[in-house]
Structure 1
């Protein structure tokens, strides 16, 4: 079951880029959504871009080189404007054409790839911005609807056997291999799909953050369809 933007206490919906970057996270709110209904043919852009590997970074020059219809050009202008807004803000946006991310299937009892619910962590004050223009979109979950995987007894015991060291070293081991960033959805959890065209700002775990970091995951891709994602 999936929640909507308006019935979720962790999301604040706003109506401009200025509001997106100037609104503070507070209380349960750790996801801000600049809600948009975008005109333009983003599928045309995806079809004309060349996938060079499973994740291909698309440059501004790559975009500008495309021969597009009027509706394709509308879509390109929107992407270029988003890149400029984020760059002027001081972020480093990356436009990615995605077939799939790398899967982590080394351990059968815990996954640390982006398809697993996880948080982002940074040593500096920053947030995660993302917008899906085409293809499947990411999900987020409220923090009270997830459990940190390393606190689930059977997973923790298996990780301890894998580590085979002291308790103090074990906590460092969990951080070093990013096990502590990953979460399991509780029964009856209601994920929110981030949808197409909306520009999101998600709270990250860093020393000055006043709220819990936003738990999110990459979606399973739709069969035969690439994703076009702006992220920083």
Structure 2
């Protein structure tokens, strides 16, 4: 059974089948299956050998881990989530994240994932994500955010970077993904997506009837490594 939240852009569902079948429509561009997960996900994070700030975890590697009963329960949840998303036609990736790389090329306009942004695809698709441990992703209502390239001060700085004819400026913004980033209003309601929940977020693609969902990766305030499924 679906339910609309007080934030008109969010719809909640009670099963994975509803999550994949519920369409985006009207103002709704974020659909969440809210779950309370059992199991010890921190045990899995602690036993995986990290290879950098972001370590991709293969299902085969999960299966090789020697785990407690709670760790095994967490593993079964991860493997099942990966499997059902693959069966849906998605290509999920499970990552352990210490931190993301920060964009230092444009100090006045970082384009890393800590910035509020929308995803874009040339074909119809959605972004699925779930945080199992650590700080969870955040979204902001579209009406409470402004596309950064429309902010005069930022647009003027971008013009200084652009070396070409005026007719190509908009293409320059798109090619460098500047048009995908947003600035939340000072009084914007930032919505935390929570731990354990699987979310389907609308993507900017041809024919999409709704606005793309504006979201960002969280700063690692908890100090925990983040265990994230995304596709």
**What does the per-residue CA deviation read over 1:131-165, in whole Å, with 9 as the maximum and x for residues that have no partner?**
00000101001100000000000100110111032
**What does the per-residue CA deviation read over 1:66-117, in whole Å, with 9 as the maximum and x for residues that have no partner?**
1111011111000100000000000000000111111002222111000000
C-alpha distance in 1 between matches for 2:46 and 2:139: 28
Question: Counterpart of 1:88?
Answer: 87
**What does the per-residue CA deviation read over 1:188-230, in whole Å, with 9 as the maximum and x for residues that have no partner?**
0011101100000000000021100000000001354210000
Question: Counterpart of 2:99?
Answer: 100
Question: Counterpart of 1:214?
Answer: 213
Structure 1 residue 23 corresponds to structure 2 residue 22: yes
Secondary structure of the corresponding residue to residue 157 of structure 1? helix
Question: Counterpart of 1:187?
Answer: 186
5 Å-filtered alignment, 1:132-151, equals 132-151=131-150
Question: Counterpart of 1:226?
Answer: 225
Secondary structure of the corresponding residue to residue 7 of structure 1? coil
C-alpha distance in 2 between matches for 1:85 and 1:63: 17
What is the CA distance between 1:167 and its match in structure 2?
2.3
- Of stretches 164-173 and 115-124 in structure 1, the one that deviates more from structure 2 is 164-173
Structure 1 residue 70 corresponds to structure 2 residue 69: yes
5+ residue gaps in structure 2? none
Question: Counterpart of 1:79?
Answer: 78
Question: Counterpart of 1:159?
Answer: 158
Secondary structure of the corresponding residue to residue 75 of structure 2? helix
C-alpha distance in 2 between matches for 1:67 and 1:49: 11
Give the TM-score taking structure 2 as reference length: 0.96
C-alpha distance in 2 between matches for 1:137 and 1:163: 35
Number of aligned positions between the proteins: 228
C-alpha distance in 2 between matches for 1:73 and 1:223: 24
**What does the per-residue CA deviation read over 1:20-47, in whole Å, with 9 as the maximum and x for residues that have no partner?**
0000101110000011100111111111
C-alpha distance in 2 between matches for 1:209 and 1:173: 23
